[in-house]
């Protein structure tokens, strides 16, 4: 067994978190509103993605389930580190965006699920953490996630659509945060890196940026 698999075999897994997420969603949605893209082969830890299509929303939701199986490595010096240890990621999507019955497949929108899963795996692969204001890029060369998009990275944001009743999942001893993912163009990502989270947030507010994903949205720096 190579070093990569050995690393994940010896980690502490919080297997109760998967059930906690499922129970949490059951409080808000009916079973026929929820589809699960089950991960058939997991190279490290098991990571599924929920698709929630509910008539109560004008959008659908993609939500990871598996990122919180493992603790993130929160740096020393962060106040109340236990509040940042566990997280899952979501993205709100227009109803018109559809997926095939399985992932991965040949659907042009599969890159969105792939983006979520790659981001969810990142902190565990690199012994780091993700929280509000953090950014990631798709590749070291800032290439797009797919030929079907111009987005090259993303920023982690608090949801402005849902309150803490939905975005905080309480277990007996832990809290699982649900963060919103907002994809970025190359110059937007570079702007955030150079100027910081608050500067990009000001651009979002100025341009009235929407939490619901838009693959053709206007550039925040235009």
Q: Tell whether the model's pLDDT for residue 136 goes beyond 50.
A: yes
- Residue 100 contacts residue 109 (beta carbons within 8 Å): no
| DSSP conformational letter for 201 | H
> How far is 48 from 36, CA to CA, in rounded Å?
7
> Percentage of the chain with pLDDT > 90?
85
Domain ranges of the chain: 3-206
Nearest to 155 by CA among 184, 126, 127, 178: 184
Q: Is 200 helix (H, G, I), strand (E, B) or coil?
A: helix
> How far is 207 from 222, CA to CA, in rounded Å?
9
Considering the chain, what is the average pLDDT of its residues? 94
- Residues 36-81: pLDDT tens digits? 999 888 888 999 999 999 999 999 999 999 999 999 999 999 999 9
For residue 35, count CB atoms less than 10 angstroms from its CB and return exposed for 0-12, middle for 13-18, buried for 19 or more.
Answer: middle
> How far is 168 from 174, CA to CA, in rounded Å?
10
CA distances (Å), origin 162, targets 11, 57, 113: 32, 11, 21
pTM of the model: 0.94
- Rounded (5°) CA angle 178-180-158: 80
């Amino acid at each position: 067994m190579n070093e990569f698999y050995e690393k994940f075999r010896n980690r502490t897994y919080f297997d109760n978190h998967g059930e906690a997420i499922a129970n949490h969603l059951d409080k808000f949605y009916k079973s026929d509103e929820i589809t699960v893209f089950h991960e058939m082969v997991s190279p490290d830890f098991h990571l599924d993605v929920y698709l929630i299509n509910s008539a109560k929303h004008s959008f659908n939701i993609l939500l990871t389930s598996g990122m919180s199986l493992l603790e993130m490595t929160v740096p020393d010096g962060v106040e109340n580190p236990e509040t940042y240890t566990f997280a899952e990621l979501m993205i709100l999507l227009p109803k018109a965006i559809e997926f095939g019955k399985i992932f991965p497949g040949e659907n042009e929108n599969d890159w969105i699920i792939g983006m979520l899963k790659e981001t969810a795996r990142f902190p565990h692969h690199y012994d780091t953490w993700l929280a509000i204001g953090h950014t990631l890029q798709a590749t070291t060369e800032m290439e797009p996630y797919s030929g079907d998009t111009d987005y090259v990275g993303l920023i982690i944001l608090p949801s402005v659509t849902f309150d803490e009743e939905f975005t905080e999942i309480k277990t007996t001893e832990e809290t699982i945060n649900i963060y919103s993912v907002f994809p970025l163009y190359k110059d937007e990502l570079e702007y955030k890196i150079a100027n910081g989270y608050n500067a990009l947030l000001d651009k979002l507010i100025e341009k009235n940026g929407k939490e619901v994903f838009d693959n053709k949205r206007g550039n925040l720096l235009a």
